[in-house]
Amino acid sequence: MLAAPFLFGQDAEAALMSQGATNETAEATHWTAESDVVWTTPSKDSAGSMPLGNGEVGINLWVEEGGDLLFLISRSDAFSEIARLLKVGQVRVSLTPSPFAAGAPFHQALRLRDGVCEISAGENEGRVVLRVFVDSEQPVIHCVGEAAGPVRVQARVESWRREVRTLSTDEEKNSAWTMLGAPFPLVESADLFPPAARDAVTWLHRNETSPAFRETLRTQSLESASDAIADPLRRRTFGGWLTGSGFTATGDDVLATPSPVRSFALRAAAPCLQTETAAEWIAAARGAASRSADWEAALRRTSAWWRAYWDRSWVVAGGDRGADSPGAEVRSPVTRAYTLQRYMQACQGRGVYPIKFNGGVFTVEPKKEGKELNADWRQWGDPHWYQNIRHMYHPMPASGDAEMMDPFFQLYERARPLAEARTRLYHGAEGSYFPETMTVWGTYANSDYGWDRKGKHPQDVDSPWWRYAWNQGPELVALLLDRWDYTQDKRFLKDRVLPMAVSVLTYFDTRFAKDAQGRVRLDPAQSIETFRTGVVNDMPTTAGLNEITARLCALPDSLTTLAQRKFFAHMKTAAPVVPLEEVEADGAKRRVLAPAQTYGPERSNVENPEMYAVWPFRLYGVGRPDLEIARASYARRVNHLDVGWGYDGNCAAILGLSDEAARILRVKCANSNPAHRWPATWGPNFDWLPDQNHGGNLLETTQLMLLQPVGNKILLLPAWPEAWDVHFKLHAPQRTLVECVYRSGRIERLSVSPHSRRKDIVTPDFTTRPVIPER
């Protein structure tokens, strides 16, 4: 059993004092306590909300001064008939007399160790204590209260979708990106409030039609392939069943206690299903509420789930003993930023669909951003954009959360049959490729593909931003291989990694011509969004093909078939050569990574595609050949991206540039939006807030600074600043677990499991760290 993380400063003193004390006192020093979010005043609106969730259902919770407790309910799969990702609804809980009066005592705390929000407000006979959490095993939200004196309790379901509505402005239509520019009105049906039961209120949104799915297949000439993918929109139903012991429905949207009470327990079940009838969904919602009726049992299992989650891994950074504060300990912002983002991922990472990069499930109405729109709005809308979505999933293997990668992988696995059909229809080839901006059923977003098809072939894509980008498939295979490397799950390799790898590689083998040496010539191509003209053999795709074919060929023969081994070997020799170019530097010529084998000079975006050979594909880095080529390439990169989807921090860490990685990590941790109260409301940066690809990048940069697998070796603290203390527990390939305490410039404790992997640990030599490259 590995130890819990060490604590710093006052936390360490509290931990020492707790030794031999009661369990309750000892648990107050759980390592996550340092990162608990505590507010001593109510909030003004949803910009002051706090996120909670069970991985499937998420809520934004806040208390209005002098008002009520409110929570927005969200899911990753609550899609309307026009493919907008909608909120499930909003619930307002009113207490009379109200403990939230202006100036009254108030304390709201998110207890990370248990996944629970605790609120105490008022004083004397007016004091009320509330606990809000989402059941770890059921799609059910609990709001439990204890009052010193009797209070009346009312819960009202608030909906801004009471009527059929047509999206009216271009800005509002932006949140329906797949259907943006449609040559017909974008209409969403109204929420329904059917009669439920005497002790419950129910509401639901139900898609009786699915114009987004139907019109997309028609527009993209894929109607003949409709049997390759199920319609994910038609009959999709989501909403809530709100109930509580002692409560009575007093209207179609109000639940209340008939008389004052001193305790109460509300619960809202919020499943999302495709059912033949609305009645079937209501029965399912009622069943979920029933299974979670015992709130104390629900709280115990929820607390147990969260504590087990926090025990998987951690990063607790201590003082920075740098020149700015010699001899003094400074609390690191890394611990809290890392912990809160990992909390956010757990709150929304176990649903049917992946975490949305543009806010996840925790978006609120954008009033603070100057937009008079409701909470259903988000910038960039519904599709999953590969360049953004990947960032939430790269850190999961190292944090021990490999099973949370399933929604991401399943999105593409469900889409693969349609992708293969599209390859045949569009290109007369075999295998699969995936659009950058992809609907949840696997097509291009129509706003990118183009609605007007006059004079165009089916393979003609309007948007120049991703018309000829092919790197998504190789990146997906690389991440699938990462999960295999860490878990060594042979069934996962056989049933999921290898079929996708064969399909993706078959696309490149059959779609593109080969040069005189038998290597694939990627043309037409582009180097992500930045280089779009004259591109042949772009670095992102080329690096990806080289990496995944080498890894596939290295798999044990016992785990692959002879046909697979021959094909992987063929594709390894057919992969284009990684592009390099000569440049003038310090009066001499030197080789650096190139964006492509050939490319035009015009830049259309701010990426550094040449750095894909460092991250996400690990062809260069500490412990690998030609490290100086990659470091020189990083030093001369044109764009410097510290936030959002920018991957400079990941590259700096892989290249062992500890000062640079630390600088970027500080910037990432300070990226919280000042107009929003939740500390991990990153962004919006390039996307929307809370910016989840920024948060995922923050996790990845931190992990790469602490631990990096290179072949069978594990580099310890390869880019961690010498002056930063840290205690971490992270996972490594081959089911390896590494716990390290680094303090005062030396490794105080190192535990490796299994012990046989101890020999593979490479400890740092701080004297050989390179100087940060000039910007």
- Identify whether residues 233 and 122 lie together within a single domain: yes
Identify the burial level of 38 via C-beta atoms within 10 angstroms of its C-beta, where 0-12 means exposed, 13-18 middle and 19 or more buried: exposed
Structure confidence at residue 766 as a pLDDT band (50, 70, 90)? confident
Among residues 308, 365, 316, the alpha carbon closest in space to that of 74 is found at: 365
62 inside domain: yes
Mean pLDDT of 546-551: 98
Which residue, 585, 607, 629, sits at the end of a domain? 607
How many Å apart are CA 661 and CA 651, to the nearest integer? 8
Mean pLDDT of 224-246: 96
- Identify whether residues 48 and 19 lie together within a single domain: no
How many Å apart are CA 693 and CA 377, to the nearest integer? 18
Fill in the amino acid letter for 186: L
For the chain, the C-alpha Rg in angstroms (whole number) is: 27
Mean pLDDT of 42-61: 98
Which residue, 243, 270, 291, sits at the end of a domain? 291
733 inside domain: no
282 token code pair: 């209501």
- Identify whether residues 491 and 408 lie together within a single domain: yes
Q: What is the pLDDT of residue 3?
A: 59
Q: What is the pLDDT of residue 319?
A: 63
Among residues 637, 641, 704, 688, the alpha carbon closest in space to that of 668 is found at: 641
- What CATH number does residue 258 fall under? 2.70.98.50
3-state DSSP helix/strand/coil percent for the chain, to nearest 5? Answer: 35, 25, 40
- Identify whether residues 31 and 41 lie together within a single domain: no
How many Å apart are CA 305 and CA 613, to the nearest integer? 38
- Identify whether residues 166 and 235 lie together within a single domain: yes
Mean pLDDT of 578-584: 95
Name the pTM for this structure.
Answer: 0.95
- Identify whether residues 80 and 3 lie together within a single domain: no
Range of the domain at 26: 1-35
Q: Does 26 have pLDDT greater than 60?
A: no
How many Å apart are CA 551 and CA 496, to the nearest integer? 15
- Quick one: CA dihedral 603, 608, 609, 610, positive or negative? positive
Pairing between β-strand 140-158 and β-strand 165-166 as defined by DSSP bridges = unpaired
**Tens of pLDDT, residues 303-362:** 999 999 999 999 999 865 443 433 334 568 999 999 999 999 999 999 999 999 999 999
Q: How far apart are the first and last CA of the chain?
A: 45
Minimum mean pLDDT range among 9-23, 302-316, 612-626, 629-643 = 9-23
How many Å apart are CA 200 and CA 242, to the nearest integer? 5
Q: Does 22 have pLDDT greater than 50?
A: no
Structure confidence at residue 13 as a pLDDT band (50, 70, 90)? very low
Minimum mean pLDDT range among 215-229, 247-261, 306-320, 524-538 = 306-320
- Identify whether residues 9 and 143 lie together within a single domain: no
Q: What is the pLDDT of residue 586?
A: 77
29 inside domain: yes
Q: What is the pLDDT of residue 645?
A: 97
Q: What is the DSSP letter of 493?
A: I
Number of H-type helices and E-type strands within the chain: 19, 30
- Strand segments (E) across 170-260: 187-188, 200-206, 236-244, 248-249, 254-256
Q: Does 196 have pLDDT greater than 90?
A: no
Q: Please state, as a whole number, how many other Cβ atoms lie within 10 Å of the Cβ of residue 756.
A: 10
- Identify whether residues 189 and 268 lie together within a single domain: yes
**Tens of pLDDT, residues 662-715:** 999 999 999 999 999 999 999 999 999 999 999 999 999 999 999 999 999 999
- Identify whether residues 8 and 79 lie together within a single domain: no
Structure confidence at residue 122 as a pLDDT band (50, 70, 90)? very high
Q: Higher-confidence residue: 586 or 185? A: 185
Average pLDDT, the chain: 94
692 inside domain: no
446 — phi, psi (to 5°)? -60, -30
Fill in the amino acid letter for 205: H
Which residue, 276, 291, 306, sits at the end of a domain? 291
Among residues 608, 683, 30, the alpha carbon closest in space to that of 314 is found at: 30
644 inside domain: no
- Identify whether residues 57 and 7 lie together within a single domain: no
Q: What is the pLDDT of residue 15?
A: 35
How many Å apart are CA 620 and CA 765, to the nearest integer? 19
State the total domains in the chain. 3
- Identify whether residues 156 and 242 lie together within a single domain: yes
Residues facing 444 on adjacent strands: 438
- What CATH number does residue 580 fall under? 1.50.10.10
Pairing between β-strand 713-716 and β-strand 761-762 as defined by DSSP bridges = parallel
257 inside domain: yes
> Which CA distances in Å does 666 have to 343, 441, 691?
19, 38, 16
670 inside domain: no
Q: Does 773 have pLDDT greater than 50?
A: no
696 inside domain: no
Fill in the amino acid letter for 323: A
Q: What is the pLDDT of residue 332?
A: 87
Q: What is the pLDDT of residue 4?
A: 60
**Tens of pLDDT, residues 459-482:** 999 999 999 999 999 999 999 999
- Identify whether residues 266 and 402 lie together within a single domain: no
How many Å apart are CA 698 and CA 394, to the nearest integer? 11
353 token code pair: 């669909």
Structure confidence at residue 768 as a pLDDT band (50, 70, 90)? confident
